[in-house]
Chain A
Amino acid sequence: MTSTAFDHVMTEFEPVIGLETHIELGTHTKMFCGCSTEFGGDPNTHVCPVCLGLPGSMPAVNRTAVESTIRMGLALSCSIAPWSRFARKNYFYPDMPKNYQISQYDEPLCINGFLDVTVITEDGPKVFRVEIERVHMEEDTGKLTHGGGAGRIHGATHSLVDYNRAGIPLIEVVTKPISGTGSLAPEVAKAYVAELRELMRALGVSDVRMEEGSLRCDVNVSLSRPGQSWGTRTETKNVNSLRSVERAVRTEMVRQAERLRNGDRIIQETRHFNEETGNTTSGRSKEQAEDYRYFPEPDLIPVAPSEEWVNELRTTLPEIPSVRRARLQQVWDISDFDMASVVNAGALDLIEQTIDSGVSEQAARKWWMGEFSRIANERGCDLVDLPVQPLDIRQVESLIASGDLTDKLARSVFEGVIAGEGSVAEVISLRELKVVSDDSSLIAAIDQALSDQPDIAEKIKSGKIQASGAIVGAVMKATKGQADAAKVRALLLEQLGVSE
Chain B
Amino acid sequence: MNQKIHTMESDLVRQSAATLASAIRQGDVTSEQVTAAHLDRIEQVDPSVHAFLYVNREQSLKRAREVDRGIAEGNISSPLAGVPIALKDLLATKGVPTTCGSRILEGWRPPYNATIVERLEAAGVVSLGKTNMDEFAMGSSTEHSGYGPTRNPWDLERIPGGSGGGSAAALASFQAPLAIGTDTGGSIRQPAAVTGTVGVKPTYGGVSRYGIVALASSLDQAGPCARDVMDTALLHSIIAGHDPRDSTSINSPVPDVIQAAQSADVRGMKIGVIKQLQGEGFQRGVLEQFNAALDLLAGLGAEIIEVSCEHFQYALGAYYLILPSEASSNLARFDGMRFGIRRGDDGTNSVEQVMSATREAGFGAEVKRRIMLGTYALSSGYYDAYYGQAQKIRTLIKRDFESAFLHVDALVSPTAPTTAFKIGEKLDDPLAMYLNDIATIPVNLAGNCAMSLPIGLAPEDGLPVGLQIIAPAMADDRLYRVGSALEAALVDQWGGLLIEEVPAL
- Tell me the A residues contacting B by CB distance below 8 Å: 49, 52-61, 88, 90, 92, 94, 97-100, 153-154, 157, 159, 161, 291, 293-295, 298-301
Complex contact A55–B352 (CB within 8 A): no
A60's partner among B100, B213, B217, B247 (CB-CB below 8 A) is: B247
Complex contact B379–A293 (CB within 8 A): yes
Question: Taking each of A56, A153, A299, which has the highest tally of chain B beta carbons within 10 Å of its own beta carbon?
Answer: A56
B:372-387 near A, CB below 8 Å: 375, 378-380, 383, 387
A56's partner among B114, B332, B351, B387 (CB-CB below 8 A) is: B114
B:189-219 near A, CB below 8 Å: 209-214, 216-218
Residues of chain B lying within 8 A (CB to CB) of residue A294: 378, 383
Complex contact B246–A54 (CB within 8 A): no
Complex contact B378–A295 (CB within 8 A): yes
Least Cβ–Cβ distance between A144 and chain B, in angstroms = 10
Tell me whether B326 is interfacial, beta carbon within 8 Å.
Answer: yes
Complex contact B378–A299 (CB within 8 A): no
Residues of chain A lying within 8 A (CB to CB) of residue B387: 295
Complex contact B247–A301 (CB within 8 A): yes
Separation of A94 and B352 alpha carbons in the complex (Å): 9
Complex contact A55–B213 (CB within 8 A): yes
Which residue in chain B gives the minimum CB-CB distance to A32? B247
**Which of B12-20, B105-113, B422-430 has 4 or more CB atoms under 8 Å from chain A?**
B105-113
Separation of A295 and B325 alpha carbons in the complex (Å): 9
Least Cβ–Cβ distance between B112 and chain A, in angstroms = 5
A293's partner among B112, B333, B378 (CB-CB below 8 A) is: B378
Q: A97 with B338: in contact, given A58-B246, A293-B375 (CB under 8 Å)?
A: yes
Which residue in chain A gives the minimum CB-CB distance to B210? A58
B:241-288 near A, CB below 8 Å: 244-248
Tell me whether B92 is interfacial, beta carbon within 8 Å.
Answer: yes
Which residue in chain B gives the minimum CB-CB distance to A291? B380
Separation of A293 and B108 alpha carbons in the complex (Å): 29
Separation of A92 and B90 alpha carbons in the complex (Å): 23
Least Cβ–Cβ distance between B487 and chain A, in angstroms = 33
Question: Taking each of A55, A56, A157, which has the highest tally of chain B beta carbons within 10 Å of its own beta carbon?
Answer: A55
B352's partner among A49, A52, A92 (CB-CB below 8 A) is: A92
Complex contact B112–A54 (CB within 8 A): yes
B217's partner among A49, A54, A298 (CB-CB below 8 A) is: A298
Beyond A56-B213, A295-B325, 9 additional contacts (C-beta under 8 Å) are A49-B112, A53-B338, A56-B210, A56-B211, A58-B209, A58-B245, A60-B246, A90-B332, A99-B333
Least Cβ–Cβ distance between B237 and chain A, in angstroms = 23
Q: Mark contacts of B321-363 with chain A using CB atoms, 8 A cut-off: 1 yes-contact digit, 0 otherwise.
A: 0000110110011110111000000010011100100000000
Q: List 18 A-B contacts (CB under 8 A).
A: A49-B110, A54-B92, A55-B108, A55-B110, A55-B333, A55-B339, A61-B247, A92-B332, A94-B337, A99-B332, A99-B333, A153-B351, A291-B380, A294-B378, A294-B383, A295-B325, A295-B329, A300-B247
Tell me whether B98 is interfacial, beta carbon within 8 Å.
Answer: yes
Q: A90 with B378: in contact, given A56-B213, A159-B351, A299-B214 (CB under 8 Å)?
A: yes
Complex contact B100–A90 (CB within 8 A): no
Complex contact B247–A57 (CB within 8 A): no
Complex contact B247–A99 (CB within 8 A): no
Residues of chain B lying within 8 A (CB to CB) of residue A298: 216-218, 248, 326
Residues of chain A lying within 8 A (CB to CB) of residue B90: 56
Residues of chain B lying within 8 A (CB to CB) of residue A94: 335, 337, 351
Complex contact A100–B247 (CB within 8 A): no
Separation of A90 and B217 alpha carbons in the complex (Å): 15
Tell me whether B230 is interfacial, beta carbon within 8 Å.
Answer: no
Separation of A294 and B383 alpha carbons in the complex (Å): 9
Instruction: Please count how many residues in chain B sit with their CB below 8 Å of the partner chain's CB atoms.
Output: 47
Which residue in chain B gives the minimum CB-CB distance to A52? B338
Which residue in chain B gives the minimum CB-CB distance to A159? B351
Complex contact B212–A90 (CB within 8 A): no
Residues of chain B lying within 8 A (CB to CB) of residue A154: 350
Residues of chain A lying within 8 A (CB to CB) of residue B108: 55
Q: Mark contacts of B86-125 with chain A using CB atoms, 8 A cut-off: 1 yes-contact digit, 0 otherwise.
A: 0000111000001010000100101110100000000000
Residues of chain A lying within 8 A (CB to CB) of residue B325: 295
A100's partner among B114, B248, B329, B379 (CB-CB below 8 A) is: B329
Separation of A293 and B218 alpha carbons in the complex (Å): 17
Least Cβ–Cβ distance between A352 and chain B, in angstroms = 42
- Tell me whether chain A's interface is mostly helix, strand or loop, or mixed: loop
Residues of chain A lying within 8 A (CB to CB) of residue B98: 55-56
Least Cβ–Cβ distance between B214 and chain A, in angstroms = 7
Q: A58 with B247: in contact, given A90-B332, A293-B378 (CB under 8 Å)?
A: yes
Least Cβ–Cβ distance between B188 and chain A, in angstroms = 18
Separation of A58 and B337 alpha carbons in the complex (Å): 19
Residues of chain A lying within 8 A (CB to CB) of residue B375: 293
B333's partner among A53, A153, A300 (CB-CB below 8 A) is: A53
Residues of chain B lying within 8 A (CB to CB) of residue A301: 247-248
Residues of chain B lying within 8 A (CB to CB) of residue A53: 333, 338
Complex contact A90–B329 (CB within 8 A): yes
Residues of chain A lying within 8 A (CB to CB) of residue B334: 55
A299's partner among B92, B213, B247, B383 (CB-CB below 8 A) is: B247
Separation of A154 and B211 alpha carbons in the complex (Å): 35
Interface pairs A-B: 6 shortest CB-CB: A99-B332, A298-B217, A293-B378, A298-B218, A56-B92, A55-B213
Complex contact B217–A299 (CB within 8 A): yes
Separation of A119 and B105 alpha carbons in the complex (Å): 57
Least Cβ–Cβ distance between A3 and chain B, in angstroms = 42
Residues of chain A lying within 8 A (CB to CB) of residue B338: 52-54, 97
Least Cβ–Cβ distance between A63 and chain B, in angstroms = 11
Question: Taking each of A53, A90, A159, A298, which has the highest tally of chain B beta carbons within 10 Å of its own beta carbon?
Answer: A298
Separation of A299 and B338 alpha carbons in the complex (Å): 21
Complex contact B111–A54 (CB within 8 A): yes
Separation of A49 and B118 alpha carbons in the complex (Å): 15
Complex contact A97–B333 (CB within 8 A): yes
Complex contact B335–A99 (CB within 8 A): yes
Separation of A291 and B212 alpha carbons in the complex (Å): 28
Residues of chain A lying within 8 A (CB to CB) of residue B380: 291, 293
Residues of chain A lying within 8 A (CB to CB) of residue B100: 55
Separation of A291 and B381 alpha carbons in the complex (Å): 10
Residues of chain B lying within 8 A (CB to CB) of residue A295: 325-326, 329, 378, 383, 387
Residues of chain A lying within 8 A (CB to CB) of residue B216: 298
Residues of chain A lying within 8 A (CB to CB) of residue B112: 49, 54, 57
B:277-335 near A, CB below 8 Å: 325-326, 328-329, 332-335
B111's partner among A49, A90, A293 (CB-CB below 8 A) is: A49
Least Cβ–Cβ distance between A296 and chain B, in angstroms = 9
Complex contact A54–B110 (CB within 8 A): yes
Question: Taking each of B110, B213, B332, B347, which has the highest tally of chain A beta carbons within 10 Å of its own beta carbon?
Answer: B332
Complex contact B211–A88 (CB within 8 A): no
Separation of A300 and B100 alpha carbons in the complex (Å): 23
A55's partner among B105, B217, B379 (CB-CB below 8 A) is: B105
Least Cβ–Cβ distance between A233 and chain B, in angstroms = 19
Least Cβ–Cβ distance between B94 and chain A, in angstroms = 10
Q: A299 with B351: in contact, given A100-B329, A291-B379 (CB under 8 Å)?
A: no
Which residue in chain A gives the minimum CB-CB distance to B136? A55
Residues of chain B lying within 8 A (CB to CB) of residue A52: 338
Least Cβ–Cβ distance between B327 and chain A, in angstroms = 11
Separation of A60 and B108 alpha carbons in the complex (Å): 24
Which residue in chain B gives the minimum CB-CB distance to A55? B213
Residues of chain B lying within 8 A (CB to CB) of residue A99: 332-333, 335
Residues of chain B lying within 8 A (CB to CB) of residue A97: 333, 338
Separation of A111 and B338 alpha carbons in the complex (Å): 37
Least Cβ–Cβ distance between B254 and chain A, in angstroms = 19
Complex contact A60–B245 (CB within 8 A): yes
Least Cβ–Cβ distance between B243 and chain A, in angstroms = 9
Residues of chain A lying within 8 A (CB to CB) of residue B114: 56
Separation of A97 and B325 alpha carbons in the complex (Å): 19
Which residue in chain B gives the minimum CB-CB distance to A48? B112
Least Cβ–Cβ distance between A122 and chain B, in angstroms = 47
Separation of A100 and B217 alpha carbons in the complex (Å): 14
Residues of chain B lying within 8 A (CB to CB) of residue A60: 244-247
